[in-house]
């Protein structure tokens, strides 16, 4: 029997992914994870180093939780391509924590023979506290016919699907209050300094002509 595959035509906004429960994180798992990733940070594998740093014990790498979310998506979206997987961590993961991973379809759209599905995914610990939250974008075939056309080198099946979202768009910002019009500043009158009046030139006094004696 061929493995089950997921197609765009069968997905609806608001669909929930089957929850994935993981066994409690233990120190053996941390050691194996360090060997697989090459991350031998002492805070993850050395109890004495973790206590010297002020921790009550070793801590689990946050990327373990990211891997759990990837498993959740991979088990559900068989046949899809993961185009984006982003995550934000809310709490430190400790040995003994049990994570339950969940998800739901938040957006779907298709155009030009390409079809995408967006997921909101998250994980909670045994206390029901949010440990991490992520966002996933999948590229997926529209239907079995669309996949068959792709496998045989034919053009894709084109069905234009407007974007559907479970998220409520943010309200538009309130209009800015109108500013009162500024009154034009009065024109400055520049007074030119008065020109000094010219005094009439004083009559020149000619010296009396000297008479020569013969």
Q: Is the pTM of this model over 0.85?
A: no
- CA 132 to CA 97: how far, in whole Å? 13
- Could you tell me the residue ranges of all domains in the chain? 8-24+61-164, 26-59
One digit per residue, the tens of pLDDT, for the chain of length 214 reads 345 789 999 999 999 999 999 999 998 999 898 888 888 888 888 888 889 998 888 999 988 999 999 999 999 998 899 999 999 999 999 999 999 999 999 999 999 999 999 999 999 999 999 999 999 999 999 999 999 999 999 999 999 999 988 875 555 666 766 676 666 666 666 566 666 666 655 555 555 555 555 4
Domain 8-24+61-164: which CATH number of 3.30.9.10, 3.40.190.150, 3.40.50.300, 3.10.129.10: 3.10.129.10
- The confidence score (pLDDT) of residue 46 equals 87
- The confidence score (pLDDT) of residue 75 equals 92
- CA 105 to CA 12: how far, in whole Å? 7
Contact predicate 99/60, CB 8 Å: no
Cα angle 162, 167, 168; round to 5: 100
- CA 203 to CA 212: how far, in whole Å? 27
- The confidence score (pLDDT) of residue 201 equals 59
Q: Return the structure tokens found at 155.
A: 């053009």
Please provide the DSSP assignment of the chain as one string: -PPP---GGG--TTPBPPPEE-PPP-HHHHHHHHHHHT---HHHH-HHHHHHTT-SS--B-HHHHHHHHHHHHHHHSTT-EEEEEEEEE-S-B-TT---EEEEEEEEEEEETTEEEEEEEEEEE-TTS-EEEEEEEEEEE-SSHHHHHHHHTTPPPP---EEEEESSPPPPPPPPPPPPPPPPPPPPP-PPPPPPPPPPPPPPPPPPPPPPPP-
Q: Return the structure tokens found at 172.
A: 């538009």
- CA 25 to CA 91: how far, in whole Å? 14
Q: Return the structure tokens found at 93.
A: 């993961």
- The confidence score (pLDDT) of residue 186 equals 66
Distance in angstroms between the alpha carbons of the first and the last residue of the chain: 159
- The confidence score (pLDDT) of residue 42 equals 87
């Amino acid at each position: 029997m061929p493995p089950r595959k997921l197609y765009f035509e069968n997905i609806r906004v608001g669909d929930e992914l089957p929850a994935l429960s993981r066994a409690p994180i233990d120190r053996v798992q941390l050691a194996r994870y360090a060997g697989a990733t090459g991350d031998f940070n002492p805070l993850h594998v050395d109890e004495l180093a973790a206590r010297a740093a002020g921790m009550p014990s070793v801590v689990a790498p946050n990327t373990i939780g990211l891997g759990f979310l990837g498993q959740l998506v991979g088990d559900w979206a068989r046949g899809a391509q993961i185009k984006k997987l982003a995550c934000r961590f809310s709490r430190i993961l400790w040995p003994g924590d049990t994570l339950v991973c969940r998800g739901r379809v938040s957006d779907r759209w298709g155009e030009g023979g390409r079809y995408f599905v967006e997921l909101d995914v998250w994980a909670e610990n045994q206390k029901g506290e949010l440990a991490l939250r992520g966002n996933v974008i999948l590229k997926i075939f529209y239907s079995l016919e669309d996949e068959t056309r792709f496998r045989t080198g034919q053009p894709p099946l084109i069905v234009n699907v407007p974007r559907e979202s479970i998220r409520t768009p943010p309200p538009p910002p309130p209009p800015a209050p109108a500013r009162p019009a500024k009154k034009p500043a009065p024109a400055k009158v520049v007074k030119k300094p008065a020109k000094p009046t010219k005094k009439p030139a004083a009559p020149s006094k000619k010296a009396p002509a000297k008479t020569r004696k013969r």
